[in-house]
Structure 1
Amino acid sequence: MTVIDYRITSKEGFDPKIGELISMLEHTRSVTMEELCGISREELDYVDGPGGNTIGSLLMHIAAIERIHQILSFDERDLTQDESDTWGKALNLGEGANKQYHGLEAAAYLEALQEVRSVTLASFSRFSDQWLQEERKWGNGVSHNFHYIWYHVMEDEINHRGQIRLLRRKYRACSN
């Protein structure tokens, strides 16, 4: 069972806003982990009709989104071809991701999520609250800052966690 902290606090060793952001990222992940307690390989591979995603592919998508945003914000560059090859199917979801992430145990997904998160935490320790607010422009001229980028990582995980909950309910209804 995952212990969930229901407080947003600033984590020690980080600037205050970054520490609060990390607190929110950790809360989001804790709730996701709680949702996965006792999940079976059959549930991880369940597809609810054509064009749907499996829970396994959604979990790898969550890891991929975080990894891509590490590259965009911490390294301030685009993905290399190798990185695109590694994370592309998970990033894009669909049939390709469902096939690639099939037959794995929950531990494989949890390990991927943890590995990516450890890089996030180590990387955030190098940056300040000032960096978090620095404004950049995407190729289309739209302004953004790094705080938004990491808000989006949380937003995406929360969205897909809702899909995971729904898929687990549908799987249970079909298997009873």
Structure 2
Amino acid sequence: MIDYRIRPIEKFSGKIGELVSMLEHSRSVTLNEISELKQIDLDYLPNTSSNSIGSLLLHIASIEFVHQIISFENRDLNKSELMKWGTALELGEKARAETKGLSLNYYLNELSQIRENTLTRLSSKKDNWLYEENKWENGVPYNNYYIWFHVLEEEINHRGQIRTIKRLLLNNN
């Protein structure tokens, strides 16, 4: 059941609990949106330049993973991590060619494993961690709160794309 309240969550500090509440709400809506999809639906490409729903789901997982690395470990992806997540991060032609034939359970498992790690790591943080600042390579400052806001906006944005693809699927069946 989807919870429509933003509120603190017991095992997290105040602001982090509210952030977790938003992350979990967004994920619940995404999971509800894809719950009835079959493998053929997950692979469907509306046109030659679109991404499949499966690719978008892996992209959502990859974005969360990358932002774990950035915010919790203060580093970028290493070669091994880039090998696993690079295609999902970039989407496009390579993702269209490689991300197919995977079951809904595969995508659900990837999303779940990444999220479990996020929640475990967030549970050890206090609110002031959200405001800790760093700088991108180009000198532009950011804080951890922005990092996790970006994870939310990525999921919500790509869920909109998933909904559009689902409508196209309905029109083609």
Q: TM-score, with normalisation over the residues of structure 1?
A: 0.96
1:64 to 44, 62, 78: 62
Find the counterpart in structure 1 of residue 90 from structure 2.
92
**Contact kept in structure 2, 1:135 and 1:145, CA below 8 Å:** yes
Find the counterpart in structure 2 of residue 78 from structure 1.
76
Task: Provide the rounded CA distance (Å) in 2 between the counterparts of 1:119 and 1:99.
Answer: 29
The number of residues matched between the two structures is 173
TM-superposed CA distance for 1:99, in Å, is 2.4
TM-superposed CA distance for 1:120, in Å, is 0.1
1:87-126 maps to which residues of 2 (within 5 A)? 87-126=85-124
TM-superposed CA distance for 1:56, in Å, is 0.3
In structure 1, the residue corresponding to 2:134 is in which secondary structure?
Answer: strand
TM-superposed CA distance for 1:14, in Å, is 1.0
RMSD: 0.7
In structure 1, the residue corresponding to 2:10 is in which secondary structure?
Answer: coil
1:133-155: per-residue Cα shift (whole Å, max 9, x none)? 11211111111100000000000
Task: Provide the rounded CA distance (Å) in 2 between the counterparts of 1:95 and 1:172.
Answer: 24
What amino acid is aligned across from residue 40 of structure 1 in structure 2? K
What amino acid is aligned across from residue 34 of structure 2 in structure 1? L
Find the counterpart in structure 2 of residue 49 from structure 1.
47
What amino acid is aligned across from residue 84 of structure 1 in structure 2? L
TM-superposed CA distance for 1:100, in Å, is 2.1
1:25-44 maps to which residues of 2 (within 5 A)? 25-44=23-42
1:141 to 134, 139, 142: 139
The list of structure 1 runs, each at least 4 consecutive aligned residues, that deviate by more than 6 angstroms after superposition, is none
Task: Provide the rounded CA distance (Å) in 2 between the counterparts of 1:120 and 1:16.
Answer: 16
Give ranges in structure 1 of 5+ residues lacking alignment: none
What amino acid is aligned across from residue 76 of structure 1 in structure 2? N
Task: Provide the rounded CA distance (Å) in 2 between the counterparts of 1:139 and 1:37.
Answer: 39
Find the counterpart in structure 2 of residue 131 from structure 1.
129
Among all aligned residue pairs of Structure 1 and Structure 2, give the percentage whose two residues are the same amino acid.
Answer: 51
1:23-69: per-residue Cα shift (whole Å, max 9, x none)? 00000000001101211111100001111100000000000000000
In structure 2, the residue corresponding to 1:82 is in which secondary structure?
Answer: helix
Q: TM-score, with normalisation over the residues of structure 2?
A: 0.98
